[in-house]
């Protein structure tokens, strides 16, 4: 009599799954160990950046008030005049030599027309605004770079009285010296400007008219 098939015998044996033999991965040699003969050199690795070897930072874009000589910071409303080396208000410029000479010779006919006494009174009035009659007619005004202000009455009195006396103390010689100083100095200061610490600015739009004058210290 036939025996029933054994259920364990009827199931096909599972096929052996082919597994690749494990690869022997060599362990990295310890630090400082000698490299085996014939082994390829290790890839170069960049050293970590040191504090002294850091790359330079990208340049900062120059904004308002930066990028001036010596790292100078320009205050708001001012600009650096490279020709004279002075910090001047926006909207004005250093008066040219020709304009300065024109103001000197303009004072003569103005004094004649106003019978001298009128010129003196006119001058006493406009000194408080850092001007003389001739400077006012030609759109110029004095400025004290040390204070960053328009000179007041007493500074202008020092310029126009003491300075003019110093210019005429030796007659033509001191007048010529004052003219040479004005023509050769980058800030165009004459002798009476040096005494009062002033420069002359061309201010056609009257930018400095609203600025309060600086009294003497």
Give me the residues of the chain with pLDDT under 50, please.
1, 59-67
Residues 116, 177: Cα–Cα separation, whole Å: 26
Nearest to 156 by CA among 117, 207, 213: 213
Per residue in 66-122, pLDDT tens? 445 556 788 899 999 999 999 999 999 999 999 999 999 999 999 999 999 999 999
DSSP string covering 112-173: HHTTTHHHHHHHHHHGGGT--HHHHHTTEEEEBTTTTB-B-HHHHHIIIIIHHHHHHTTTHH
Percent of the chain with pLDDT over 90: 61
pLDDT value for 70? 58
Q: Are 97 and 199 in contact (CB under 8 A)?
A: no
């Amino acid at each position: 009599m036939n025996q029933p098939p054994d259920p364990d015998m009827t199931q096909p044996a599972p096929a052996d799954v082919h597994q690749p033999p494990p690869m022997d991965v060599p362990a990295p040699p310890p630090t400082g160990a000698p490299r085996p003969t014939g082994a390829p050199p290790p890839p170069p690795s960049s050293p970590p950046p040191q504090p002294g070897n850091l790359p330079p930072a990208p340049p900062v874009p120059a904004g308002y008030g930066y990028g001036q000589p010596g790292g100078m910071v320009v205050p708001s409303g001012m600009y650096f005049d490279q020709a004279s080396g002075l910090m001047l208000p926006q909207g004005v410029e250093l008066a040219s030599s020709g304009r300065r000479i024109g103001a000197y010779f303009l004072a003569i006919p103005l004094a004649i027309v106003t019978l001298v006494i009128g010129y003196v009174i006119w001058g006493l009035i406009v000194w408080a605004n850092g001007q003389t009659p001739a400077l006012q007619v030609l759109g110029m005004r004095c400025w004290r770079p040390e204070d960053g202000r328009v000179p007041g009455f007493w500074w202008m009195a020092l310029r126009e009285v003491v300075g003019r006396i110093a210019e005429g103390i030796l007659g033509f010689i001191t007048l010529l010296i004052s003219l040479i100083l004005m023509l050769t100095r980058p800030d165009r200061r004459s002798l009476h400007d040096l005494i009062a610490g002033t420069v002359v600015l061309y201010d056609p739009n009257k930018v400095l008219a609203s600025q309060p004058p600086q009294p003497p210290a």
